[in-house]
Structure 1
């Protein structure tokens, strides 16, 4: 049995176990989950060809070749990896639809981490594929430009309470002048946070977190995402979103900024633009979905990062979580 058939067989077994639960929530990964070779096993699906052709037309380059062949350094650039992650997730959706359409018809909620939120909105038909790709292209270009304008970094801090990490950020901001300042950028899981901002301030937080007994790790990104260092991207995204025919999603889509479902088209436009400077409330987003009753989470896209995070939030939900990878 080749690898692709084994993947399908495993997926089908997991779905059969989950059939007793009445609904599903789809999770879409963000930047950092990409890898060279992604989608290689799903090239024969008709939807894959359509998605990549549309991506090439909108983006202006051959994303399919970049995903399949690299080079890795180019794929990992912000300007390329954000479209790659979203397109990879959309291709994984084609596999899920082909093998288990009942999951899509039974889906009641969707959430995406950072750029993955745009994937969720495309899936929920709030944005067309073309609009979503244009938004991702502009978002990635603007964030890449912001990284080049002002250097910054991100730091994972595990094992410390939020109040402790916030205090370390406050101390770093008081000690480092002038700005850019540091802030908590991602609320991942209990005692699991990511700090973002100017490199000097992030180093101060790192030193303080180690003293407090935290486990720290530099995040492999090119800048200080979800912080004020991305402010230059907001006006451009706002202008673009104002021109787009955004509609209310056909199912509940959770905003990274509020941790709650979107309630209006105006809120989608505003929060998608603001999202690049605001923290990702990921733990709150998943807990909000779980509060609405029993369901099965399905992570759709490259790698299994979101399932790993889910284990720190709700172990029962983690045990039933299905991964549909590319």
Structure 2
């Protein structure tokens, strides 16, 4: 076995301590020290540098949703999520070499045993390894593979300051959208969205029913493409603002995932199906595992755009495993703009 020297005997990881009633808080998790895991044949040991904190963890903690790409977790289970790290042991043969940086989905721990086939070597396509935790690939696939955005069209992005939305506005602009509109609940985030994230206009959430009027004002000619991270009232408003032939891409369901009520595993919404029919609106769901061919294409374009300064990767870095549960709580509470990353 090829091994990086001076490996510790133990590793730390974040586990679910109890299923919360309502939104998860730091006390629902604990950090556990375990023996350093040992890779077997076809596996590698990765020392994680950082991992992503994502809203769907609320759904995972609530037991998961049948057909979703990620399983639910119960008390005593370790959390997971996209991570970037360095291979420190490889029994071989094959697989990424010791010292190579890779991405994988076993974050929330210091050291992870990962199937060699489940690692993606990072190379130097992006100038900063942390940028591999961007959700831009999902936004890119939504706009290019599902919506098939055309030059000059009007795009509406709900949750425009989140991990996906903060990339979707910029990407839509670079792909030739004529007008890009986003939504958020924070005036401070709205200012950043207009100044540096590609948005021409931002509609603020308010009392029930007010969003439709605000969206109509921001998009008087209607919207052609809707990238939806939220559902709920924002989906209803988009149906009302849709132009004939509009394409809706449903990426997330934050209205249910971040609700104080329930488990975060449902997101019911009532919409006018007559409008879907008469406007010939198409609605397609997408997950991060769909359209894998778009991932490499996105990374190449993302790297070029980052180096030229045409795009940014909005994110906040929170240091330390002991602060990971707090990072999740703050993200659910809307305290941060862009992607939330825990660094180790």
Shorter chain as denominator, the TM-score bin is: under 0.3
Question: When the two structures are superposed, what TM-score results if normalisation uses the length of structure 2?
Answer: 0.27
Report which of the two has the higher share of helix: 1
Question: When the two structures are superposed, what TM-score results if normalisation uses the length of structure 1?
Answer: 0.28
Task: Give 1 or 2 for the bigger CA radius of gyration.
Answer: 2
Higher relative contact order (CA 8 A, sep 6+): 1
Report which of the two has the higher share of strand: 2
